[in-house]
């Protein structure tokens, strides 16, 4: 399975993912990693799952502590990255 795809002028998926996943809430890191791994093969499923992670992050941000809000921002950034790439990756 190849995950080191590079956008024309951007970072590799691995590099970008690693930059923001550390900010994600601990309980969302593994689901994000699984979506990321499947992205090249299962774009449609990755889009739906990333949208679900964004919804969870939004809820965590709305109801959580300041630390939760910062973590939610990281999770949302990763999920948004996956969502955008799932829409454009061939």
Q: Is residue 72 part of a domain?
A: yes
pLDDT given for residue 10 in this prediction: 57
- Quick one: tokens of 11? 């970072």
Q: Is residue 70 part of a domain?
A: yes
Q: Is residue 77 part of a domain?
A: yes
* pLDDT 10s digits, 30-68: 887 787 777 777 777 878 888 888 888 888 888 888 888
Q: Is residue 61 part of a domain?
A: yes
The number of domains in the chain is 1
* pLDDT 10s digits, 2-14: 444 444 555 566 6
pLDDT given for residue 3 in this prediction: 43
Number of other residues whose CB lies within 10 A of the CB of residue 53: 22
The answer to whether the CB of 75 falls within 8 A of the CB of 28 is yes
Q: Is residue 42 part of a domain?
A: yes
pLDDT given for residue 85 in this prediction: 79
Q: Is residue 13 part of a domain?
A: no
Give me the domain span that covers residue 74. 26-88
Q: Is residue 38 part of a domain?
A: yes
What's the whole-model pTM score?
A: 0.55
User: Which residues, at least 6 apart from 56, have a Cβ–Cβ distance to it below 8 Å?
Assistant: 28, 75
Q: Is residue 30 part of a domain?
A: yes
């Amino acid at each position: 399975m190849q995950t080191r795809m590079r956008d024309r002028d951007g970072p590799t998926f691995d590099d970008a993912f690693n930059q923001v996943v550390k900010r994600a809430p601990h309980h969302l890191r593994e689901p994000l990693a699984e979506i990321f791994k499947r992205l090249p093969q299962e774009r449609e499923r990755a889009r739906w799952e990333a949208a679900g992670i964004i919804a969870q992050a939004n809820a965590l941000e709305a109801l959580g502590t300041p630390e939760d809000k910062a973590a939610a921002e990281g999770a949302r950034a990763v999920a948004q990255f996956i969502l955008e790439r799932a829409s454009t990756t061939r």
